[in-house]
Structure 1
Amino acid sequence: PSNGETSEIASGAAQAQDATTPSKRKEASQKPAASFKAMLLVLMVVQNSALALVGRYTRSSVSKEDMFVVNHLILVCEFVKLILASGLEHYTTNGKLAQSIKENIIDNPLDFLKILIPSLLYLVQNSLLFVALSNLPAPIYQVTYQGKLLTTAIVSVIMLQRKYKAKQWVCLLTLGFGVAIVVLGENNQKAKDAAEDGAVVEEDSDKPAQSMTVGLIAVTVACFCSALAGVYTEKLLKRPSTSSAGSAKGPVSLWMRNIQMAFFSICIALIQGGTSTGEDSEKPFMHGFTFLVYLLVLIQAA
């Protein structure tokens, strides 16, 4: 072929390569994204399972006197979250943490106060989850707490007008029926064991008393608290904030919202601890904190 034909062939090949390159690049970029999502899913499963197992063990394997106070654990967890969120906000803002705090907290107190509601809900949720862990076996707790998926879907429809497909509702309702079957099966098994033994075995007075009913009520209320707090926080993250002058700003970052939430949670927990009465109020701060409890703090803060 002549030089003109050669140049036309070369240009055509280049155009064909350019046409296929974006699709290849898109496919190549989708693979790391899918792998990252899969890794996050695995980490989330490991974290939730470890939280249930370690939390249950720390609440059921020690005596009443050696048991840690839930309020103290929440305080330490929220303090760790505050440090981690501050570090991540410092990193994402290129060292402008102080400026970010000034813009989103000091100069915008009304928007800052909006996070008080989910902070209170999450604090109630965490307290109830440890009540549930004290009264339910880890597998039962793990299964029943998945009911938060159904409650979150219902709350998101009400608050965010979110629409779900019929197939998604079938999956959520199937999950609800599955949770109910597990709970009923556990109750029937306990009744059967008690009937075969002919008498109720006395529990160790040195260990905390356990009640299936109390645990299930705690999990149910915690599921609704989790749904309300999660959907409300999502609504705040998507809504642009407003400055003190009334001008619209971009949405506040996730890490700044975590800083705000941890701050309010610490304040509420301090007030709760200062006004509480009973045996727990007499225990010193971080009483009963063992290696496993510190591990539980790290899992919870993650």
Structure 2
Amino acid sequence: MTESESTKESQTNVMESASVLKYISLVLLTAQNAVFILSMRYVRTREGDMFFTTSAVILQEAIKCFVSLIIILVQEGSVKGWLHHLNENILKNPLDCIKVSVPSLVYTLQNNLIFIGVSNLDAAVFQVGYNRLFLLKELH
């Protein structure tokens, strides 16, 4: 096998693993969102003491952070590579990290507002409104 054939095969393997990782991420995020909405609706409509919605949102974000770190670890292939990746992308580029944090903070606010909507709207009204919001985002 020549060096160019080896390089092409290596590039194909990288593209295939990236494609698999993309679909795994899509499935995990879809499952996480579905479980979040269903469990949120259940706990906000049951009888008894209520919890602070902020606690649930922060816990959800912490779980997503943990899963993201695991995905990066798998992608890097070693703890050393994982630590190097985190060092290069977070500690050595704090401005980029802050730029990425802005949408994350807005998303956290959105999740808090979703809790308020689920608590105060009928399930069907909430679901139609929630889906309509995403449809409008796609059209623009």
In the alignment, the residues of structure 1 paired with residue 125 and residue 63 of structure 2 have an alpha-carbon distance, to the nearest angstrom, of 29
Q: Judging changes above 3 Å, is the alpha-carbon distance between structure 1 residues 140 and 47 closer, same or farther for their aligned structure 2 residues?
A: farther
Please point out which of 47, 51, 59 is paired with 1:68.
51
Shift of 1:50: 4.5
The answer to whether structure 1 residue 92 and structure 2 residue 75 are counterparts is: yes
Supply the AA of the counterpart residue of 1:69: F
Q: 1:1-302 alignment to 2 at 5 Å?
A: 40=27, 44=30, 50-63=35-48, 66-95=49-78, 96-147=81-132, 148-154=134-140
Partner-residue secondary structure (3-state), 1:115: helix
| Structure 1: unaligned runs, 5 residues or longer | 1-32, 155-302
Partner-residue secondary structure (3-state), 1:62: coil
Aligned residues: 114
In the alignment, the residues of structure 2 paired with residue 114 and residue 151 of structure 1 have an alpha-carbon distance, to the nearest angstrom, of 21
In the alignment, the residues of structure 2 paired with residue 153 and residue 123 of structure 1 have an alpha-carbon distance, to the nearest angstrom, of 23
Identity value in percent: 32
Q: Judging changes above 3 Å, is the alpha-carbon distance between structure 1 residues 108 and 53 closer, same or farther for their aligned structure 2 residues?
A: closer
- Is this contact kept in 2: 1:90–1:97, CA < 8 A? yes
| Structure 2: unaligned runs, 5 residues or longer | 1-19
In the alignment, the residues of structure 1 paired with residue 66 and residue 121 of structure 2 have an alpha-carbon distance, to the nearest angstrom, of 32
Q: Judging changes above 3 Å, is the alpha-carbon distance between structure 1 residues 76 and 52 closer, same or farther for their aligned structure 2 residues?
A: closer
Q: Judging changes above 3 Å, is the alpha-carbon distance between structure 1 residues 73 and 94 closer, same or farther for their aligned structure 2 residues?
A: same
In the alignment, the residues of structure 1 paired with residue 91 and residue 42 of structure 2 have an alpha-carbon distance, to the nearest angstrom, of 42
- Is this contact kept in 2: 1:49–1:142, CA < 8 A? no
Shift of 1:109: 1.4
In the alignment, the residues of structure 2 paired with residue 47 and residue 108 of structure 1 have an alpha-carbon distance, to the nearest angstrom, of 29
Shift of 1:153: 2.9
In the alignment, the residues of structure 2 paired with residue 47 and residue 112 of structure 1 have an alpha-carbon distance, to the nearest angstrom, of 24
Say which structure is richer in helix.
Answer: 2
In the alignment, the residues of structure 2 paired with residue 107 and residue 53 of structure 1 have an alpha-carbon distance, to the nearest angstrom, of 39
Supply the AA of the counterpart residue of 2:104: S
Q: Judging changes above 3 Å, is the alpha-carbon distance between structure 1 residues 68 and 149 closer, same or farther for their aligned structure 2 residues?
A: same
Per-residue CA deviations over 1:24-64 (Å, capped at 9, x if unaligned) read xxxxxxxxx9xx79x95xx94x765544333122111123x
Q: Judging changes above 3 Å, is the alpha-carbon distance between structure 1 residues 139 and 48 closer, same or farther for their aligned structure 2 residues?
A: farther
- Please tell me the root mean square deviation across aligned C-alpha atoms, in Å: 2.6
Q: Under a length normalisation based on structure 2, what TM-score does the superposition of the two structures give? A: 0.70
In the alignment, the residues of structure 2 paired with residue 140 and residue 112 of structure 1 have an alpha-carbon distance, to the nearest angstrom, of 37
Shift of 1:99: 0.3
Supply the AA of the counterpart residue of 1:100: H
Q: Under a length normalisation based on structure 1, what TM-score does the superposition of the two structures give? A: 0.34
User: Relative CO higher for 1 or 2, CA cutoff 8 Å, sep ≥ 6?
Assistant: 1
Supply the AA of the counterpart residue of 2:110: Q
